[in-house]
Amino acid sequence: MKPPRVPLILRPTPLHRLPRLSAELGIDLWIKRDDLTGFALGGNKGRKLEFLLADMVLKRTTAVVTCGAVHSNFIRQLGAACSIRGLRCLALVMDLPFEPGFEIANVGVGPGGNRWLNEWLGVEVHELPNGSWDELFAQTEDLAQRLEAEGETVYRIPVGGSSPLGAYAFFEAAEEIRTNPFFDSIICPSSSGSTQVGLSYALHGAQTHVIGISCDPEPDLLEELKRLCYGLDDLLGLDRRVAAEYLNLRYDFVGPGYGVPSPEGLAALELMARTEGIFLDPIYTSKAFAGLVQMVRQKEIRGRVLFWHTGGIPSLFTVPPSARIQSAEIAID
């Protein structure tokens, strides 16, 4: 049985060919436009929130608590979803939360972007000094418990909304490409993992290979993806037991670290904009597209390839074009 949903997005999102990049790269390149979901400035998070918001309503939630980086796309769209149901939305954020050993020093995170949009939406943002993800998680749970002590019915949402319900949204989204031409590969950004997991789970056993480009250096991320797959088994009453080795997660395009643009990603952003007139974001989709171009150059992928554009456009307004590094332009065979 399908989980209940509160309609938020426009579906199916556009799917179309990129003719100029196809000619330049020597592949048949297509793009899935989840940047055009139509909810709260677009992006893939609206898919997850349809199911998460329905669950909140069923559980008579009064306050929603989550956490993440200060420019989180999920927090922005969560704030919009809570607004339309009159729910309090509280988010604990750090500029650049990190895993121990992956600290990022001397990198500033600018104003604007999602930081300002959250204020328009009324999200109750609590900004903390940079620290580890575990520290952020602990303080988020403390906040949730304090709210419960005050009488709120609290709904806890993990980073990025990546729960089995969140992954289910992309299991379902895979149906939007089944009636179109066969794809040899699907490339998507991967961080909290629900996009990659949902697509991989839906296409498990198919000839289409889903490749996630990690935007986070966390070494345990693959295990998190595996746990999400098992959660989908439980949610759907299936026993696919998608093995970790089937989840193709590439770490070689992370760049300086989580939440920080990479030179290669900024060059990829410029390439997409100046070739097809489509904007990528500097944190997720630009790194994923840089990975796609590099894999094509190294003959790792070929044929008909789909790039899943997950959105994140507000982050463009935190990184000036002068940040791009010309020496890191992507070479194309």
Amino acid in position 242: V
Q: For the segment 68-105, what is each residue's pLDDT rounded down to a tens digit? A: 999 999 999 999 999 999 999 999 999 989 877 777 76
Q: Which two tokens stand for residue 223?
A: 């295990």
User: In terms of pLDDT, which residue wins out, 103 or 15?
Assistant: 15
pLDDT tier, 173 (very low <50, low <70, confident <90, very high otherwise): very high
What pLDDT is attached to residue 302? 95
Q: What is the mean pLDDT of residues 156-180?
A: 93
The span from the CA of 260 to the CA of 55, in Å, is 33
Q: Where are the domains of the chain?
A: 15-43+163-328, 45-161
Dihedral sign, Cα of residue 59, residue 63, residue 69, residue 75: positive
Q: Is 308 exposed, middle or buried (0-12, 13-18, 19+ CB in 10 A)?
A: buried
What pLDDT is attached to residue 81? 98
Q: For the segment 264-323, what is each residue's pLDDT rounded down to a tens digit? A: 999 999 999 999 999 999 999 999 999 999 999 999 999 999 999 999 999 999 888 877
Fold of 45-161: Rossmann fold (3.40.50)
Longest Cα separation, the chain: 61
- Sheet holding 154-156: strands in order across? 124-128, 88-94, 63-69, 154-156
Q: For the segment 143-152, what is each residue's pLDDT rounded down to a tens digit? A: 999 999 999 9
Closest among 54, 38, 249 to 169, alpha carbons compared: 54
Q: Which two tokens stand for residue 236?
A: 């759907």
C-beta of residue 234 within 8 angstroms of C-beta of residue 258: no
> Does 327 score more than 50 pLDDT?
no
Q: At what angle do helices 221-236 and 164-173 cross, to 10 degrees?
A: 80
pLDDT tier, 329 (very low <50, low <70, confident <90, very high otherwise): very low
Amino acid in position 172: E
Residues annotated as catalytic are 72
Instruction: Tokens 């806890």: give the residue.
Output: 156
CATH of 15-43+163-328, one of 3.40.50.2300, 3.20.20.80, 3.30.930.10, 3.40.50.1100: 3.40.50.1100
Average pLDDT, rounded, for the chain? 92
What would the DSSP string read from start to end of 68-137? EETT-HHHHHHHHHHHHHT-EEEEEEESS-B-TT----S----SSHHHHHHHHHT-EEEEE-S-BHHHHH
